[in-house]
Chain A
Amino acid sequence: MALEIGGKTIATDEEGYLENLSDWTPEVANAMAQAEEQPVTLTDEHWEIINFLREYYEEYQIAPAVRVLTKAVGKRLGADKGNSKYLYSLFPYGPGKQACKYAGLPKPTGCV
């Protein structure tokens, strides 16, 4: 599979995650969101999460746990947003998986 962005081809795996994490740009995130069965237009709220995921990955080489994510979101954006309901409202396929994909992170694997 692949994404076409500005004439450039970007390789993704069977599930739409980036093959090479260094290929990520904000345009990639937008293209992935638009490529969903029901296209998603990324808002500032989405970007707050995506940016946090990228910062966390930069430091720890893995996506944050749901709990870590909700806690961080709560601290930064207010307690009313620090819960999985809010995250699922933005990323209905699951914040762990869908948001990670847009952020260019590898998919969390295992019994999750």
Chain B
Amino acid sequence: MADYEVPKLNGEGYIDIPKIKPDAMAGKGPFVAKPDFQKALNFPTDFAADPEGGYELVPDWKERALAKMDDLRHRYRSLQLYLDICVKCGACTDKCHYYLGTQDPKNMPVARQDLMRKVYRRYFTFAGKHFPKLVGAVDLTEAVIDDWYNYYHQCSQCRRCSVYCPYGIDTAEVSMAAREILDHIGRGSKYNNEIIGKVFKVGNNLGLPQPALADTLEGLEEDVEADTGIKVRFPLDEEGAEVLLVTPSADFFAEPHVDGLMGYAKVFHEAGISWTLSSYASEGANFGMFIGSYENMRRIALRIREAAIKLKVKRIVFGECGHAWRVAYSFLNTLAGPFDFLDPKYPVPQHILEVTWGLIQEGKLVIDKSQNDDKVLTFHDSCNVARGSRMGDKPGGQFEYPRNVIKAVCNHFVDMPADTIHDATYCCGGGGGLLTDDLMELRVKGAQPRMEALKYVTEQQGVTHMAAICAICKSQFTKVIPYYGFKMDQIVSVHQLVSKALVLQRPVSVQARPDEDDDDDEDDNDDA
């Protein structure tokens, strides 16, 4: 199927640090966004298709790129610091899943950062301006731009390298800045920017319009009723509900995501919490972060605020989505706050796992763990949750909550090797705006470190399924694990496990439709 070599797993749980293969991943990068896609995001559109099927850069691209870099290093002092402070100690070199999987030395985080750092030196530092060769400074040329486009789309902004950097340099921020500069000179990525345009136009990454969403949710209500005999609601745009659930649109569309959505619905039902989805803010994911665009990230986040106000909810809860939770947990208040109209008794925002784990601890959910006895679970920490957020009020809650919930609904759970979990977790290989078919080789190879760990617990401890709490992780794994000899249905949503084990006790939803109190209208007449 693949015209490249799929890495062979060694079965030891860890990857041996490979010998470098210079230019192993040289190439053109992902498909470039056409001017039409750039327009919706307020990026420049003064570039045209070239005869070779690609796109030219904008006029004066060099000046405009440097002006943008200058702008960003002043806007984000962290970026300036990261460009200045690296001492080339090498601690990050073997920490990147893409380096480990591809062997391309430009995927060592320090080398990837240096693609920008050497240009920064040339134009913005005294030594680089006067003695460029001495300090490894280079001119900004089209070849450099091509390298940026290619290799800054081989970083999933997972920030594993930052955990090991003695200075805490955040490679993700450098990659984001690079993409923001590229977006201003006609080098946006089609995958990310087409999707953001759909959020502005339709409300979600999929482009799922309100009628289709309503139909999908109705179908899920039928399925849950057929399965359990209980009318569990999946409310859409219901004003006055207590909770606005913001979840990745993949939860409406893909497997095993949708099984997780059914889990959230059952939890709300059982706890008697009224909730609603919004067709206007029908997307948890915020791809504005991936492209380092504060303005677009804010526009996406504001939709959630607007929906919360319009629907008069008291709480905002996020579903299983890795970087949505990072944006929500770390940035939502400054991007779209203040949220003083919400109930201050609850965290703003809240993660669905915080809701579920809270209810489990309070004894409000009846669980039959044996329903998951056909599985031995392990858990993949999503990079953005693990390294960019928290759950609950104690450090490390983001590692504990998902595991606590899994252990509360499953009898068999084991963790993968220690250097591959918690804040040392590996990216799934498809994060950061790289979950596109035109980057399939990168995605397959970048999954290798996680696959090694999964194979190890599969062989040593009989693991049959890996649970995840991120739409990208779930889609990426279902797509790439077959390359490594696993089956796609071995990937599950955490709330899919909850859904399986939860024994519904509440016969009628607190949001039961008035017209379905009962099928016979006579009751209504009697009451009148």
A interface, CB within 8 angstroms of B: 1, 14-15, 59-62, 65-68, 71, 84, 96-97, 106, 108-112
Contacts and interface: CB of A to CB of B under 8 A. Distances in A.
B475 interface: yes
B250 A106 contact: no
B207 A111 contact: no
B505 interface: no
Contacts, number: 83
B250 A67 contact: no
Given A109-B195, A110-B195, A112-B206, A62 B212 contact: yes
B38 interface: no
Interface in B200-217: 204-209, 211-212, 215-216
A112 B215 CA distance: 19
A91 to B, nearest CB: 14
Interface in B228-265: 248-250, 252-255, 257-258
Band of interface residues on B: 35 or more
A62 to B, nearest CB: 5
A110 B254 CA distance: 10
Contacts of B220: 67
Given A60-B209, A109-B207, A111-B472, 11 more contacts: A61-B212, A66-B253, A67-B258, A71-B219, A108-B207, A109-B206, A110-B195, A110-B205, A111-B249, A111-B250, A111-B285
Nearest to B31: A14
Given A62-B206, A110-B205, A112-B254, A68 B216 contact: yes
Given A15-B437, A66-B254, A67-B219, A110 B209 contact: no
16 contacts: A60-B215, A61-B212, A62-B209, A62-B212, A65-B252, A65-B254, A67-B216, A67-B220, A68-B215, A108-B253, A109-B205, A110-B204, A110-B249, A110-B250, A111-B321, A112-B250
Interface in B409-445: 435, 437-438
Contacts of B216: 65, 67-68
A10 B249 CA distance: 31
Contact of B198 (A1, A67, A84, A109): A109
B255 A110 contact: no
A50 B274 CA distance: 39
Contact of A84 (B194, B195, B255): B255
A104 B295 CA distance: 34
Contacts of A62: 206-209, 212
Contact of A67 (B31, B204, B255): B255
B209 A61 contact: yes
10 nearest interchain CB pairs?
A110-B205, A111-B471, A60-B212, A111-B250, A65-B253, A112-B254, A110-B206, A111-B472, A14-B31, A62-B212
A74 B190 CA distance: 35
A14 B438 contact: yes
Contacts of A1: 53
Interface string B23-37: 000000001000000
A111 B248 contact: yes
